[in-house]
């Protein structure tokens, strides 16, 4: 049987089935466009947020020490932090100092030798926190230590890029003391022209991602397991 021509098909009321693939293809293209737009918009938002974060960190500066705080807290992570905290304590800008997140194998004598500080200062006025394993633990132990000593105002000594996340974690603790950030700028983070170094960019990008994670966690009300043990060792 020979195939009918197009005119013959129309004459006998025979029509080719309508193509049904054009509409789904248009839908897929629209979906792909929306996804691409969302990714671009999200990327632009994150990039803008990172630029603001890096700018805010760069603008952090050592506060003028007018008057005194009740106590001083150093979050471990570099010798510069501890040296700065001990200087504040030695000059009388706080009554006691807490070093939070100390390695369990590190003693007060070892810290005194590392910093070149008189051991008597450690014996008198320094407490070591061996329990905090992260910034969440640092914040909780800081608040607990301040409560135990009746402190309501603290100097918080940590690296400049770590200040925003530390303040977020402390703000999430009920009845936390007032905190004055005392930023320390790591030598390898910034170049002489004020721009971050290659290492600095990596540190800032990593810290920015952590800050976003903290904000998301707090926005959704997620309560991560905090430090289970709360032992603070008093020297002397």
| Sign of the torsion angle spanned by Cα atoms 90, 92, 96, 101 | negative
To the nearest 10°, report the CA torsion of 146, 147, 149, 150: 100
Taking only the tens place, the pLDDT of each residue in 116-169 is: 898 999 999 999 999 999 999 999 999 999 999 999 999 999 999 999 999 999
User: Which residues are 73's β-sheet partners?
Assistant: 98, 156
Distance, in Å, from the CA atom of 19 to the CA atom of 23, rounded to the nearest integer, reads: 9
Taking only the tens place, the pLDDT of each residue in 168-195 is: 999 999 889 999 999 998 877 888 777 8
Q: Is 128 helix (H, G, I), strand (E, B) or coil?
A: strand
Q: Which domains does the chain possess?
A: 59-185+193-234 (3.40.50.620)
Q: Considering the entire predicted model, what is its pTM?
A: 0.75
Distance, in Å, from the CA atom of 44 to the CA atom of 85, rounded to the nearest integer, reads: 39
């Amino acid at each position: 049987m020979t195939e009918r021509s197009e005119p013959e098909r129309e004459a006998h009321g025979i029509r080719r089935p309508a193509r049904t693939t054009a509409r789904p293809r248009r839908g897929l293209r629209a979906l792909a466009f929306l996804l691409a737009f969302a990714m671009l918009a999200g990327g632009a938002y994150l990039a803008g947020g990172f630029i603001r974060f890096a700018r805010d960190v760069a603008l952090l500066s050592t506060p003028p020490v007018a008057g005194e705080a009740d106590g001083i807290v150093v979050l471990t992570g570099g010798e510069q932090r501890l040296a700065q905290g001990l200087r504040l304590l030695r000059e009388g800008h706080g009554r006691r100092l807490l070093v939070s997140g100390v390695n369990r194998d590190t003693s007060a004598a070892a810290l005194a030798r590392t910093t070149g500080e008189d051991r008597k200062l450690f014996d008198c006025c320094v407490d070591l926190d061996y329990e905090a394993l992260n910034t969440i633990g640092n914040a909780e132990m800081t608040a607990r230590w301040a409560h135990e000593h009746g402190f309501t105002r603290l100097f918080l000594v940590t690296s400049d890029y770590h200040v925003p996340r530390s303040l977020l974690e402390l703000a999430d603790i009920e009845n936390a003391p007032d905190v004055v950030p005392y930023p320390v700028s790591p030598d390898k983070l910034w170049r002489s022209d004020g721009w971050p170094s290659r290492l600095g960019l990596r540190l800032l990008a990593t810290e920015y991602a952590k800050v976003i994670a903290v904000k998301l966690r707090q926005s959704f009300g997620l309560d991560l397991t905090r430090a289970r043990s709360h032992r603070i060792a008093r020297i002397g």
